[in-house]
Amino acid sequence: MVTELFHLQSAAHPMIDSQFLAGERDLTEDDLRPYLQPLGRSIDLSSVDERIEEIRADEDIDAQDSLIDAELAPALHRTLDLTRNEAADAGLWHYLCVVRFPDFVHYRWDHVFDPESPGNMEEKFLKAGTDAYSNALHRIWWGAELTYEEGESGEVDDRDYSRTKQVLSFQELANDILDHDFARYIPVTHACGDLLCHDTLNEIREEGTYDDPPSNSNIVSRTTTLLREELTVRRVEMMEEDNIVETIEDLRDDVMRQEAGW
């Protein structure tokens, strides 16, 4: 089914009230018509609908699990084949979350809703733009955009999303990459995804080099914090990819050594 894409204007935000955030009512295109600005594009989103249905039917994937993001990312990114300028339009993501995919947002994020403090749930519908971290669909799309590998053919269907899945299935890693400015520099994002994913950290753990190493989440949090500090005094654009990898490895290993009392 082809969906016409719209920009949802900020004047509509007061309609995203606690009743909507609680999943007790929907908002349709007719409800929001005065606030919808056509973007001049229509896309068949049926493959995204189908993937969401498959994920919800998968007994190995729990509601609210970060694995949902990882499993949806390839279909969402391939289908919404946007330029980065188009993807920077916050109103597009507001429309997609509020009107087109609200059930998915609730399925993924209902656990953060607090009627006394609805801000956490509200941002899953209404954040975006330069914030690649919060909006439920925007974060998935940008997580894929910043981590996928182009295939030899250059065709959309030939893209490799294995790193995307490693990052988005590990919520601490996804959050700590997307919430930092360095995420926009692809070599840094790719190196973080490769060097700080569960598979890599578990391999280091199994080698037994460090006694009582910290949790993977702790390693990621501390390493990305140190990396952000490191990149405030270095121009990342001037760094070679090998140097980026070496820097992240050194910071990660320092975190593990410190925890081990070396």
User: DSSP secondary structure string, the chain?
Assistant: -EEEEEEEPGGGGGGS-HHHHTTS----HHHHGGGEEEEEEEEE-HHHHHHHHHHHH-TTS-TT-THHHHHHHHHHHHHS---HHHHT-HHHHHHIIIIISHHHHHHHHGGG--TTSTHHHHHHHH--TT--SSSHHHHHHHHHHTT-B--TT--GGG-B-HHHHHHHTSHHHHHHHHTSGGGGSHHHHHHHHHHSSHHHHHHHHHHT-SSSPPPHHHHHHHHHHHHHHHTTSS-GGGS-HHHHHHHHHHHHHHHHHHHHT-
Which comes out higher in pLDDT, residue 258 or 7? 7
| Residue bearing tokens 């609200």 | 102
pLDDT value at residue 184: 84
Please give the average per-residue pLDDT across 145-150, as a whole number: 95
- 110-122: pLDDT as tens digits: 999 999 999 999 9
What's the pLDDT band for 183 if we cut at 50, 70, 90?
Answer: confident
- 172-181: pLDDT as tens digits: 999 999 888 8
pLDDT value at residue 44: 97
End-to-end, the C-alpha distance of the chain in Å comes to 59
* Domain extents in the chain: 1-169, 171-262
- 69 CB neighbour count, 10 Å cutoff: 24
Predicted confidence (pLDDT) at residue 262 exceeds the cutoff of 80? no
What's the pLDDT band for 129 if we cut at 50, 70, 90?
Answer: confident
User: DSSP secondary structure string, 81-109?
Assistant: ---HHHHT-HHHHHHIIIIISHHHHHHHH
Predicted confidence (pLDDT) at residue 1 exceeds the cutoff of 90? no
* The model scores a pTM over 0.75: yes
36-44/2-8 β-pairing: antiparallel
Q: How far apart (Å, rounded) are the C-alpha atoms in residues 216 and 205?
A: 9
Predicted confidence (pLDDT) at residue 212 exceeds the cutoff of 90? no
- 18-55: pLDDT as tens digits: 999 999 999 999 999 999 999 999 999 999 999 999 99
Average pLDDT, the chain: 93
Q: How far apart (Å, rounded) are the C-alpha atoms in residues 46 and 54?
A: 12
Q: How far apart (Å, rounded) are the C-alpha atoms in residues 169 and 51?
A: 16
